[in-house]
Amino acid sequence: MTGPRIIDGKAVAAEVRAEMAKKVAAIKSKHGQVPGLAVVLVGEDPASKVYVRNKGAQTVEVGMNSIEHKLSAETSQDELLALVDTLNKDPQVNGILVQLPLPKHIDAELVLNTIDPIKDVDGFHPVNVGRLWIGERALVPCTPTGSVILAKSVAPNLSGMDAVVVGRSNIVGKPMAALLLRENCTVTIAHSRTRDIENVVKKADLVVAAVGIPEFVRGDWIKPGAIVIDVGINRIEGPDGKGRLVGDVNFAEASKVAGAITPVPGGVGPMTIACLLKNTVEAFEMQTGLSADA
Ligand SMILES: NC(=O)C1=CN([C@@H]2O[C@H](COP(=O)(O)OP(=O)(O)OC[C@H]3O[C@@H](n4cnc5c(N)ncnc54)[C@H](OP(=O)(O)O)[C@@H]3O)[C@@H](O)[C@H]2O)C=CC1
Ligand SMILES: Nc1nc(=O)c2c([nH]1)NC[C@@H]1CN(c3ccc(C(=O)N[C@@H](CCC(=O)O)C(=O)O)cc3)C=[N+]21
Ligand SMILES: [Mg+2]
């Protein structure tokens, strides 16, 4: 018997970035402009700092402008809203990402709703959420977009599959369900109130885990041969006392049963950043009417 296919998110993400680098170069030579991405970080969350650093480095690597705003944890809501407003008006800024979570004294929903939808490269603004669900051109959340690309890298046609998304957050679970519906899957969304969740998951040809609990999905919940996309990023302490990253799926167990599975790290995470760059190029094209081809 052959083992499961380990889906290499790092490699697929590198392909997406290479494609973006080509597009950005073409835009630059044709139009003399490059897309710009602004990332706003409030506070000192160490994990957020790592992501923001990675985003900035990869933005520059594909030839785009990276604008980083690092604000103290004491920044007021009004100051943050004023910054978003400035970025909304800045023609050099095509994409705006405000890193979550925000400090408790700031109303995250209000901040996200203040980002101009055409610059909302996270796809979190209600206008983009609505457009996604009704099938209009939208900026679509990066993690679900990356997850679909990874699933299609092993099964190009997802049509008719039973898909189960575990988790119903606005940033992962719900947009994931919308994208899988668009791929013609039969979609079930499971969450903390779902009864008999293991048997719900067991029916799935495609499982997406976005729960936030380390190794929550067990091997015996997986239908043999299923595709498993693990969105979870959990830092836990290993037996050696060192920090280690695990997903929301028990990889050791599930990889014995699945047909294909994403690892953590090296699965969905790198795709999230690659899709952010893709959205920034798309936002630039929508805002300027310019493109790589014309
Ligand atoms: N790879 C990447 O790029 C990204 C990774 N992540 C990771 O993905 C994971 C999910 O993130 P996010 O969506 O923001 O998390 P949230 O905490 O916002 O949502 C978690 C969801 O899981 C559900 N849930 C919690 N406990 C259970 C349970 N016991 N049984 C079934 N469902 C449960 C919750 O249900 P209910 O609604 O009922 O409370 C909720 O819908 C995290 O590990 C996060 O770090 C997130 C973003 C990007
Ligand atoms: N407005 C906003 N948009 C986001 O998209 C957003 C956010 N806020 N807040 C936090 C989450 C989390 N997130 C990740 C991005 C990259 C990796 C990533 O690159 N992971 C690598 C390595 C991670 C590591 O080594 O620490 C991997 O899984 O291989 C992970 C997680 C984006 N998020
Ligand atoms: Mg959350």
Which residues of the chain, if any, have pLDDT below 50? none
Of the candidates 206, 209, 224, which has an alpha carbon nearest to the alpha carbon of residue 157? 206
* Tally of CB atoms within 10 A around 8: 16
Give helix then strand counts, H and E, for the chain.
10, 11
For residues 188, 192, 193 and 195, what is the CA-based torsion angle, rounded to 10 degrees?
70
Residues at CB less than 6 angstroms from ligand 2: 50-51, 54, 97-100, 122, 142, 233, 245, 264-266, 269-270, 272-273
Distance 235 CA to ligand 2 centre (A): 12
Domain ranges of the chain: 32-119, 142-270
Flag whether the ipTM exceeds 0.90.
Answer: yes
Residue 273 has what pLDDT? 97
32-119 and 142-270 share one fold = yes
Q: Exposed, middle or buried, 133 (CB in 10 Å: 0-12/13-18/19+)?
A: middle
| Residue 118 to residue 63: CA distance in whole angstroms | 21
Supply the pTM of this predicted model: 0.97
Q: Which ligand 1 atom minimizes the distance to the CA of 168?
A: 41
CATH entry 3.30.360.10 includes domain 32-119:
no
Q: Which residues are catalytic?
A: 55, 99, 122
Task: Quickly count: other Cβ atoms within 10 Å of residue 46's Cβ.
Answer: 7
Handedness of CA 101, 107, 110, 111 (dihedral sign): negative
Of 54, 100, 172, best ligand 1 pocket probe by most atoms within 8 Å of the beta carbon: 172
Candidates 3.40.50.720, 3.30.2010.20, 3.30.450.270, 3.40.640.10; CATH matching 142-270: 3.40.50.720
Q: How many CB atoms lie within 10 A of CB 82?
A: 12
